[in-house]
Amino acid sequence: MHNLKPMTALGADTPQIDQFDGLEISERPDFALASLSIRLGRDVQCAEQAKAYLGFDLPEPGQGHLSDPFSCFWMGPVQWMISAPHDSHEDLAVALKQAVGDAGSISEQTDGWCRFDLSGPGLTAVLERLCNVDLASLASGDARRVRLEHLGCFVWCLKPAEAVAVLGPRSSAASLHHALVGAAKSAL
Amino acid sequence: MMIDHPLLGLRDAQEFTYLGDASLIDRPDWQAEDAQETFHDYLYLRENPAGEHRELWFHETGDRSWLVVTRNTLTHEITKVELARDVARARGRSK
């Protein structure tokens, strides 16, 4: 039996939290992620089965849905990212696969991404230095894929103009965190 | 330059990468008698119009969809943007 020790994307035992005057950046390792792609010609069936499992319609382009336990955002044509608390839904990908069957393809994404939640009144000033997302246009749940610190990241609106989640590639978590902290120090 | 994405609306051109002539969608039949000749033309020969041009763009730092953009090479005016998927299916491909 291997003696494995869980660690966060930044390599620590506990999630990193950085406080600034007007912004908090908190690492969030407590979410499971899985992506859903509809297979060719199975749009109606897959959408219905996903809705039966998630409890809401798959979001329209650019949009998302925030709820408990499942949240979701649109990634691209016929593709969505689904998120749920890690403690209760560690097997999210398996459960989704059972829900949609052969109408959709599911990929485990939990360990592919790291997530940092940014919240506070200084959010706009920090985010506008990092990427070209139009924060004012984002409604609750909306998500945009952006280039941030040369990384393809998602900016996911948790609370309009006040809180977003930034999802970036986990292997570049330290670079992403460095960019977020650097922008916060510069702007605030 | 802004590209009017069919799903996401106006997006900055820096989010996209350019591939080339949209005629790349019309890949020849590799089993045809004249496949060698048609593949030579498909691979090497391009129109180079001064004016309206249909070209493939990839929304790399966006939703990662392929687009067919109709652009005027003299003025850079973009007159039409379609999902490449829809264009290909309309021509009987990707069924």
pTM of the full predicted structure? 0.90
How do A151-159 and A64-65 pair as beta strands? unpaired
Please give the domain boundaries of chain A with CATH numbers for all domains.
31-110 (3.30.70.1520)
Does some domain include residue B29? yes
Give the pLDDT confidence of A163-185 residue by residue, as tens digits. Answer: 999 999 999 999 999 999 999 99
| Mutation choice for B interface testing from A132, A142, A153, A167 by most B CBs within 10 A | A132
pLDDT of residue A2: 84
Which CA distances in Å does A101 have to A34, A35, A47, A97, A98? 15, 14, 12, 6, 5
- How many domains does chain B contain in total? 1
For B43, the enclosing helix (H) or strand (E) is helix B35-44
Residue of B nearest to A147 (CA): B61
- Nearest to A62, CA basis, from B80, B9, B34: B9
Which residues does chain A have within 8 Å of residue B63's beta carbon, measured at their own beta carbons?
Answer: 61, 74-77, 79, 145
Q: What percent of chain B has pLDDT over 90?
A: 85
Q: Which two tokens stand for residue A81?
A: 């990212």
Which residues does chain B have within 8 Å of residue A139's beta carbon, measured at their own beta carbons?
Answer: none
Write out the DSSP string of A167-188: EEEGGGHHHHHHHHHHHHHHH-
Does some domain include residue B77? yes
At B94, is the pLDDT very low, low, confident or very high (cuts 50, 70, 90)? low
Asked if pLDDT for residue A4 goes beyond 80, the answer is: yes
ipTM of predicted assembly, 2 dp: 0.80
Asked if pLDDT for residue A66 goes beyond 90, the answer is: yes
The answer to whether residues A118 and A183 touch, using CB atoms and an 8 Å cutoff, is: no
Give the pLDDT confidence of B75-89 residue by residue, as tens digits. Answer: 999 999 999 999 998
Which residues does chain A have within 8 Å of residue B83's beta carbon, measured at their own beta carbons?
Answer: 77
Which residues does chain B have within 8 Å of residue A132's beta carbon, measured at their own beta carbons?
Answer: 12, 14-15
Give the pLDDT confidence of B25-62 residue by residue, as tens digits. Answer: 999 999 999 999 999 999 999 999 999 999 999 999 99
The chain-wide mean pLDDT, for chain B, equals 93
Does some domain include residue B95? no
CB neighbours of residue B90 within 10 Å: 9
Domain hosting B32: range is 2-90
Asked if pLDDT for residue A145 goes beyond 90, the answer is: yes
**Chain A to chain B Cβ contacts (< 8 Å):** 30
Cβ pair A77:B63 closer than 8 A: yes
Identity of the residue in B14, B63, B85 whose CB atom sits nearest the CB atom of A145: B63
At A6, is the pLDDT very low, low, confident or very high (cuts 50, 70, 90)? confident
Give the pLDDT confidence of A77-133 residue by residue, as tens digits. Answer: 999 999 999 999 999 999 999 999 999 999 999 999 999 999 999 999 999 999 989
- Nearest to A96, CA basis, from A17, A34, A26: A34
Does some domain include residue B59? yes
Cβ pair A61:B7 closer than 8 A: yes
The CATH number of the domain holding residue B27 is: 3.30.2270.10
| Mutation choice for A interface testing from B58, B63, B82, B95 by most A CBs within 10 A | B63
At B95, is the pLDDT very low, low, confident or very high (cuts 50, 70, 90)? low
